[in-house]
Structure 1
Amino acid sequence: MKSTVNIFWFRRDLRLDDNVGFYNALKSDHKVLPIFIFDEEILSKLPEDDARVMFIFDTLQEMRNELQEKYGSSIAMLKGKPKDVFKQLIKDYSIDTVFTNRDYEPYAKERDEAIEAILSEENINFKTFKDQVIFEQDEVVKSDGDPYKVYTPYMKLWKKEFEKIDLKIYYTNDFLDNLIENSRLPNLSLADIGFKKSSQKITPYTVTPTLIQEYEDTRNFPAKDATSRLGPHLRFGTASIRKMVKKAIAEKNEVFWSELIWREFFTQILWHFPHTKDEAFKSKYDRIEWRNNEDEFKKWCKGETGYPLVDAGMRQLNETGFMHNRIRMLVGSFLCKHLLIDWRWGEAYFAEKLHDYDMASNVGNWQWVAGSGVDASPYFRIFNPTTQINKFDKDLKYIKKYVSNYGKDSYPDKMVDHKEARERCLKVYKEAVS
């Protein structure tokens, strides 16, 4: 007779400590089998040298090694469609409960509902936990229960609600001996998953007291490289949001803290309004007659627009998988406003290239620059890509780092005149939204 186990399913929470669902699984009445599923539904859409897949793979191998050396356990590495994987697990093990942390993206919600239905048929419990945010879903809403659509009042209530809670860190060390004793759980290679090593690497994050204290003064200057690089680590859960919030509070830095709250604002917007991944939040913006010139889009993607700060940003993205936040706003605005190319084209390109791609934040920010989202930039606000250089890269350090042909004959002419593009944009937008 098979002994009964509980399963913990790692997803966007790739760490052993301060992991809410993992902590609760370890404290349960049965030995815990940790698993990770390389989901074919997701992998099939990615290039074979995707740096994010390599990062997930390497992180899991480090976690496996730690569990093998210290606890005689491991993490089962599995590949396939989650529904098929769980049907097999049900055959292989006597399972009491599957524990996991909640994911709020539309695909993840549908996937989890399907898994819960399969488990329910076998009388297996499915328990999910809040882990990747401080407040989720409808925990910070208006008095009538409606979600906030503007950041500032959301942020103010978020902070009020935060004062009421005891921000607990979920230390797992005392409970790791409740893992299943099996150091030979299934493993996979990158090749088994259908991938190979990437030339790009996800940078470790830096959240020192100095970085937080100087964040407000330095964060807008791309040449300084003074941002935390936390994005991918919050996305994949190699950093704990609770620990990061504690650091922001310890240094009393409202701006750094505010950036973490923005992330939760966009997460709850996507949860309440899942259609926004494909449609404008303000539906009248779907009436815009985008030009959608494919040749111009390709030039934007390659960083060959003739506007050096835009080009530096796009070349940084293509070369490294990262783009400075200040420059993301500029390149997004340039695509939507100067070229009149649909924000969804840009959002999809960022989804392919950005190491820290997160659907909620990416969609939220693209709709912001397009003017179509919640709390959006007004449509008549159009960044001037030349004067932005004077504000944020006046010594041209960032531009020269990424635009090797800047100032040379090989550097392209401006693909569009700023004044003409601005007037064209205002006319097209006004016709659509008036």
Structure 2
Amino acid sequence: MSNALVWFRRDLRLADNPALQAALDAGHVPVPVYIHAPEEEAPWAPGAASRAWLHRSLQALDADLQARGSRLVIRQGDSLSELEKLISETQAAALHWNRLYEPASIARDTRIKQGLKSRGIPVESHNAALLVEPWTVQTGQGGPYRVFTPFWKNARQRLEGLRAGSAPKRLPEPPVTLAGLDVGDLGLRPPAHEPDWDAGFWEHWAPGEAGALEMLEVFLDGALRGYKAERDKPGRVGTSRLSPHLHFGEISPRTIVKALQDGDWPAAIEADLTHYLSELGWREFSHHLLYHFPQTAQDNLNPKFEDFPWVDPDEALLSAWKRGRTGVPLVDAGMRELWTTGWMHNRVRMVAASFLTKNLRLHWRHGADWFWDTLVDADLANNTQGWQWTAGTGADAAPYFRIFSPVAQAGRFDPAGDYIRRWVPELAQLPDKALAAPWEHADLLREKAPEYPDQPLVDLRESREAALAAYETVKADGAARR
């Protein structure tokens, strides 16, 4: 039998993997390869939390392959050069991979495909990451969408008859002489001078395809019921928590949607199903935006914000935000959850981002950079869309004048203070009435939590008014240009 390379990237699974299945369907021996070349993703090479997850995910993939008779061949260096070497070493008749949609990856993959095809090597790419690829959904005028609702109305029509492939039970063995690196050789784990900073991650996560499928099963058996009403409450498990598994391709969105479509669900949870499906739709929309507006990973999609008077970064303020020492309990709880687990509840992400971009009035890129380094689900499309949405600078964005009140948000979504008490334990002895805004209860704060800041970094009301005043200058400049 002839060999075919299957180039794994962020599709670290065997089930519903079109590239792997295409090689098998063509009668080839799949040679699974992973090439570590983070510099090719610059300026968005994986952050520290992503690297820690990747280490374990690659180990899980290799174990899954070996259990089926195959193995993962790991190389490091320039992707084209390494692929050319592998093609020569295996006499591969074809190369298969699943597509990525970030600007740097698209450019790299285009170059590789053109180079190899010019040498007569068949190269095929496939869709493994999205329900609908960015170029397949267009407005009536033939352009990209900038608003979610019509985008999802169009895209959702394409989900009927969706299929998700199963994992092969056995795989043929690749050439035994083919050399590769060990996962540990890639230097993905925390350095020796920062030992085990990720230890808290693995109390909450199990990277790999098995962990992803287990997380899906737990969600379908539990949090899916009541999802629409409970998903915004950070003190309970009310979300799927599948985002890192989706980012690394340990599970496909098709597998998730198929499970939703095939389930024997009571009519009472129809609204929950629809709402969760729309959250997958937001992931699709984020990729749609990044593909059509690749500059937005760095620049505002809304050009009027190019003149917005952001505050010059104050490293002390920025550090306090990063470390969960802002003096605003809901913000601090979120930032500490992020540091400890590599993840933050989505409702709290919006609150923390609003505090940074509107109360502190720091550019959203400062927050996007920090999330990129600390989130295990750091996805360029989602991260960019999320920050620009909250900052009010992107497509389908929250208007700039919508400023999240962390006090009101805590009262609404964490009324018993379970989330705040868990992640800001020095406040655990405060009564509920003082938990969301402890600075308003100075005597209690001094008595019960003397180590917690006695005031927020900025006055919430004054900083809100300053942000709105800054926005008025942008509106006036825009009107003057017209």
Cα distance in structure 1, aligned partners of 2:39 and 2:133: 25
Alignment of 1:10-409 (within 5 A): 10-41=8-39, 50-71=48-69, 73-163=70-160, 166-173=161-168, 176-178=170-172, 180=174, 182=176, 186-193=180-187, 195-196=189-190, 198-199=198-199, 200-201=201-202, 203-204=205-206, 205=215, 206-249=218-261, 250=263, 251=265, 252=270, 253-291=273-311, 292-406=313-427, 407=445, 408-409=449-450
Deviation at 1:42, TM superposition (A): 6.2
The equivalent position to 2:456 in structure 1, one of 408, 414, 417, is 414
SS across alignment from 1:356? coil
Cα distance in structure 2, aligned partners of 1:394 and 1:428: 32
Of 22-31 and 282-291, more deviation after overlay is shown by: 22-31
SS across alignment from 1:9? strand
Contact 2:68 2:171 in 1 (8 A): no
Deviation at 1:32, TM superposition (A): 1.7
Residue 66 and residue 354 in structure 1: after superposition, are their counterparts in 2 closer, same or farther (change >3 A)?
closer
Cα distance in structure 1, aligned partners of 2:307 and 2:349: 24
Of 147-156 and 83-92, more deviation after overlay is shown by: 83-92
Cα distance in structure 1, aligned partners of 2:168 and 2:410: 49
Cα distance in structure 1, aligned partners of 2:405 and 2:59: 46
Amino acid at match of 1:385: P
Deviation at 1:304, TM superposition (A): 1.1
Cα distance in structure 2, aligned partners of 1:74 and 1:260: 32
Contact 1:98 1:127 in 2 (8 A): yes
User: What TM-score do the two structures reach when normalised by structure 1?
Assistant: 0.92
Cα distance in structure 2, aligned partners of 1:124 and 1:143: 38
Contact 1:78 1:85 in 2 (8 A): yes
SS across alignment from 2:426? coil
SS across alignment from 1:35? strand
SS across alignment from 1:127? strand
Quick check: 1:430 aligned with 2:472?
A: yes
SS across alignment from 2:229? helix
Contact 1:40 1:81 in 2 (8 A): no
Cα distance in structure 1, aligned partners of 2:385 and 2:117: 35
Residue 69 and residue 376 in structure 1: after superposition, are their counterparts in 2 closer, same or farther (change >3 A)?
closer
Amino acid at match of 1:417: D
Of 200-209 and 230-239, more deviation after overlay is shown by: 200-209
Cα distance in structure 2, aligned partners of 1:125 and 1:135: 25
Q: How many residues align?
A: 428
Deviation at 1:108, TM superposition (A): 0.9
Cα distance in structure 1, aligned partners of 2:46 and 2:138: 41
User: What TM-score do the two structures reach when normalised by structure 2?
Assistant: 0.83
Residue 382 and residue 40 in structure 1: after superposition, are their counterparts in 2 closer, same or farther (change >3 A)?
closer
Amino acid at match of 2:309: E
Deviation at 1:373, TM superposition (A): 0.4
Q: Cα RMSD over matched residues?
A: 2.3
Of 411-420 and 25-34, more deviation after overlay is shown by: 25-34
Deviations 1:50-82 (A, max 9, x none): 4433433333333323333432x2110111221
Contact 2:224 2:238 in 1 (8 A): no
Contact 1:212 1:248 in 2 (8 A): no
Deviations 1:221-269 (A, max 9, x none): 1111222110000000111211111233334411111101110011111
For structure 1, the 5+ residue unaligned runs are none
Of 246-255 and 340-349, more deviation after overlay is shown by: 246-255
Deviation at 1:419, TM superposition (A): 1.3
Amino acid at match of 2:136: E
Deviations 1:187-214 (A, max 9, x none): 4142443634642326242322332122
Residue 260 and residue 49 in structure 1: after superposition, are their counterparts in 2 closer, same or farther (change >3 A)?
closer
Cα distance in structure 2, aligned partners of 1:337 and 1:224: 27
Question: Which 4+ residue blocks in structure 1 deviate beyond 4 angstroms?
Answer: 42-49
SS across alignment from 1:208? helix
Deviation at 1:138, TM superposition (A): 2.0
Cα distance in structure 1, aligned partners of 2:155 and 2:108: 29
Deviations 1:278-337 (A, max 9, x none): 110111112111102222111111111111101111111111111000000000011000
Deviation at 1:46, TM superposition (A): 9.8
Cα distance in structure 1, aligned partners of 2:167 and 2:462: 60
Of 216-225 and 88-97, more deviation after overlay is shown by: 88-97
Deviation at 1:143, TM superposition (A): 2.0
For structure 2, the 5+ residue unaligned runs are 191-195, 207-214, 428-444, 477-482
Residue 47 and residue 131 in structure 1: after superposition, are their counterparts in 2 closer, same or farther (change >3 A)?
closer
Contact 2:290 2:296 in 1 (8 A): yes
